Structure 1
Amino acid sequence: MVNRAVWETLHKELAAAGATLVAVSKTKPASDIKELYDLGQRHFGENYVQELVSKQAELPADIQWHYIGHLQSNKVKYIAPFVHLVHAVDSFGLLKEINKQAAKNSRVIDVLLQMHIADEETKFGMDEADIFELMEYYTAQKEDMQNVRICGLMGMASNTDDEQKIRSEFARLNNFFIHLAETSFLGKPYFAIRSIGMSSDYHIALAEGGNMVRIGSMLFGNR
């Protein structure tokens, strides 16, 4: 069941902050997504390829689907025809596969690089050195990588009640984003997204430069 009042509040708050709300709809039925869609929500995030493909076929065509989970290279082909933004690119191999499948579908797919900012080793992502190395590969092979576009960074904070720790992790990502944006790697107007913050910490994310938040439980209830 969708919490309409919460969506309306979030929608206004994030619009005022210039941030995009991605409604995390994983495991939720298409009927819940359609209810939120009818209110005006267009960005939805999914973690599982099969579930995303099924929902995309059933729901309105103008939904902008975000793939926010860990994406395996052999699954890219299933979402390449329609995915709006891939949030969690954590290797150059995955970036190349997204480019390959995008070319087959005559598309350019936007992606974010996942930066590891949390303490937990179980979280995916690259550190600053890894991202610099990926950027160097990307720049060197730019002529062969015309169907994928790096639009920013994504990160997940530590699972903790320590707000100062969360704040420092988000600030680290934002500071590195600014550094990247100022380098010769990209310097493009589309390199603009910092996807940080979820239901429990999105206020901190907004204060630390985030402009895309991934909200699930506040909108759809606990899973």
Structure 2
Amino acid sequence: MIKDNLHNIKKTIPEQVTLVAVSKTKPVSDIQEAYNAGQRVFGENKIQEMVGKYEELPKDIEWHMIGHLQRNKVKYMAHFVNLIHGVDSLKTLIEIDKQAKKHSRVINCLLQAKIAKEESKFGLSFNEIEAILNSEEIKTLKNIKVVGLMGMSTFTDNVKQITDEFESLHEFHNKIKNAHTNLNILSMGMSGDYELAIAKGSNMVRIGSSIFGVRNYNA
């Protein structure tokens, strides 16, 4: 089933778009099945869970941390995480840099923009993102690299609202790419809206339930 789901989704995704298979709450056996079907990029939202899976699974997997990040837990994944999606403060970047330095690594990060109308969503305003990217302090961080932006749309059936939110982030991303040439990634879109996100400029999508089935929230 997972193999077929992956195959069907990949048919709908352009070659230049990276598929992050969101494997949170799913067992190692499911991830291995997706791996055997050719998938190499997986996203988790809990560091302890990701660490356990990293230790059990093949080492050529590219692990992405996609959940809200607690600074005091960065140390547990600093030796292997490939990309951290949800960075929403300069303090968090400083902590990631500190932990990456201990392992002589450079960790790639995305700044999370708040584009949704929901209060529950984390993220930075566009002005706050520009302030971080233009700060003197970020220039001193040699063990992190901000490689793009991430955004989550409002959980709604209102397609126009979702479209407007994705469009606003895409336009902002295009605007700041001129001054910050490393910002190549725009991570927008999940199982319910990834095709719309791709149409609005996303080149990285985070898909879970459409690959692995409905999530087990009691896990």
TM-score, length of structure 2 as denominator length? 0.95
Compare the two structures and name the one with the higher helix fraction: 1
Q: Is the 8 A contact 1:118 1:156 kept in 2?
A: yes
Q: Which amino acid aligns with 1:30?
A: V
Cα distance in 2, alignment partners of residues 96 and 113 from structure 1: 13
Q: Which residue of 1 aligns with 2:6?
A: 7
Structure 1 residue 141: Cα displacement: 3.0
Cα distance in 2, alignment partners of residues 217 and 210 from structure 1: 19
Q: Deviations over 1:43-67 (max 9, x none)?
A: 0000001100000000000000000
Q: Which amino acid aligns with 1:71?
A: L
| Aligned counterpart in structure 2 of residue 57 of structure 1, from 44, 48, 55 | 55
Q: Which amino acid aligns with 1:8?
A: H
Q: Which residue of 1 aligns with 2:120?
A: 122
Given the alignment of the two structures, is residue 144 of structure 1 paired with residue 140 of structure 2, yes or no?
Answer: yes
What is the identity percentage for the equivalent residue pairs of Structure 1 and Structure 2? 50
Cα distance in 2, alignment partners of residues 159 and 144 from structure 1: 37
User: Where does structure 2 lack aligned partners over 5 or more consecutive residues?
Assistant: none
Q: Deviations over 1:33-91 (max 9, x none)?
A: 00000010000000001100000000000000000000111000000000010000000
What is the SS of the residue equivalent to 1:86? Answer: strand
Cα distance in 1, alignment partners of residues 162 and 173 from structure 2: 17
What is the SS of the residue equivalent to 1:134? Answer: helix
| Aligned counterpart in structure 1 of residue 181 of structure 2, from 167, 183, 187 | 187
Structure 1 residue 5: Cα displacement: 1.8
Q: How many residues align?
A: 215
Q: Is the 8 A contact 2:132 2:138 kept in 1?
A: no
Cα distance in 1, alignment partners of residues 138 and 3 from structure 2: 44
Q: Show structure 1 runs of 4+ deviating over 4 A.
A: none
Q: Is the 8 A contact 1:87 1:112 kept in 2?
A: yes
Given the alignment of the two structures, is residue 134 of structure 1 paired with residue 132 of structure 2, yes or no?
Answer: yes
User: Where does structure 1 lack aligned partners over 5 or more consecutive residues?
Assistant: none
Cα distance in 2, alignment partners of residues 221 and 161 from structure 1: 21
What is the SS of the residue equivalent to 2:12? Answer: helix
Pairs within 5 Å for 1:190-201: 191-201=183-193
Given the alignment of the two structures, is residue 173 of structure 1 paired with residue 172 of structure 2, yes or no?
Answer: no
Q: Which residue of 2 aligns with 1:106?
A: 104
